[in-house]
Structure 1
Amino acid sequence: MAHVFIVIGKAEGQGPEWHGHVTALTVAPEYRRLGLARKMMELLETVSDEVYKGYFVDLFVRCQNNVAINMYEGMGYSVYRRVREYYGSLGFGKGGRDEEDAFVVVGRGIHHITAVE
């Protein structure tokens, strides 16, 4: 049986900076545009809020991943900052996919965002 989607999330921080973090989210190509990623994000938000009392949800996304960025922004998320060379070298050298930047994306319902420094 093939995988339809994978989502990995966790609670991190401490005290008033407790929040949910999306480590990975992917949907198989043939199941995209069906709202599965959005539903998984909503579930992670619910668990973060109701179980862990998290203040927000954050994640990293490749700066070039416009499809994902548009989905997150459509859900009320905002790009908080850019992290240079977040994704390490893939070994292709000059002109290849070397040290890609990432955006830190922070979710709705933010009480404060000091934990994302």
Structure 2
Amino acid sequence: ERLKNKDREEAWHKVESLAVKNPSYNEVREILHISLDTNASYENNTSPMIVDDDVGVNMYDKIEKEAKEAKKAVKKEKPLLRRKSELPQDSLTLKALSDHKRTEDVITTQSDETS
């Protein structure tokens, strides 16, 4: 188990070093207000630093608004018609339906006879 933890830690350090080498790392770090120190405090089983809750809430609200707008756009694009089922029908079902429709034309009801 210790060996697994050590391997995970080494892999995490590799990921961190690759992230730091990425040219957009500084931009992302500034946007999210995250530093590598927060990860270290997490590893030490202490609570990670929480930076500026208002920014997190504002970002959440912004994402929610964008999601609602996207849903509205999708709804506007959908046509308001109902599609008929395109399930295959076997020949016996088709024959039974046509026979049933034919008998409706032949049979008369009492109201038809009185008029």
TM-score, normalised to structure 2, is 0.24
Hey, which of these two has a bigger chunk of strand by percent? Answer: 1
Hey, which of these two has a bigger chunk of helix by percent? Answer: 2
TM-score, normalised to structure 1, is 0.23
Structure of higher RCO (CA pairs closer than 8 Å, 6+ residues apart): 1
